[in-house]
Amino acid sequence: MIYLLDTNAISALMREDTRMGSWLSSLLADDRAVINTITRGEILFGLGRLPQGRRRAELSYSRYCPVNRSRQLLVICTRA
């Protein structure tokens, strides 16, 4: 199954929310979690509004942050 994650889901993952992390790790081997370009843009906009500092840096370097990805539909997690 393919799950399209919204901005709130990605934000929770970037903040290392345990419930969202547990859900993501419970996906089956053939499941995929993806985001679209609108969600990517919303996350990047939100990061850009944060003042320079530790919090912004931490979120920018989160493994779920879509900063360095350019495809229209981003695969966040696939289990092989």
Say which residue the tokens 């509004």 belong to.
49
| Cα 56 from chain centroid (whole Å) | 15
From 43, 41, 27, select the one nearest 80 (Cα to Cα): 27
Residue 71: pLDDT band (50, 70, 90) is very low
Give yes or no for a contact between 3 and 33, defined as CB atoms under 8 angstroms apart: yes
Q: What pLDDT, on a 0 to 100 scale, did the predictor assign at position 79?
A: 52
Please state the domain extents for the chain: 2-78
- Give percent of the chain above pLDDT 90: 10
Residues in the chain: 80
Give mean pLDDT, residues 34-45. 85
Give yes or no for a contact between 57 and 25, defined as CB atoms under 8 angstroms apart: no
* 1-30 pLDDT per residue, tens: 989 999 999 888 888 899 988 998 898 888
Residue 68: pLDDT over 80: no
Whole-number Å distance between alpha carbons of 12 and 24 = 11
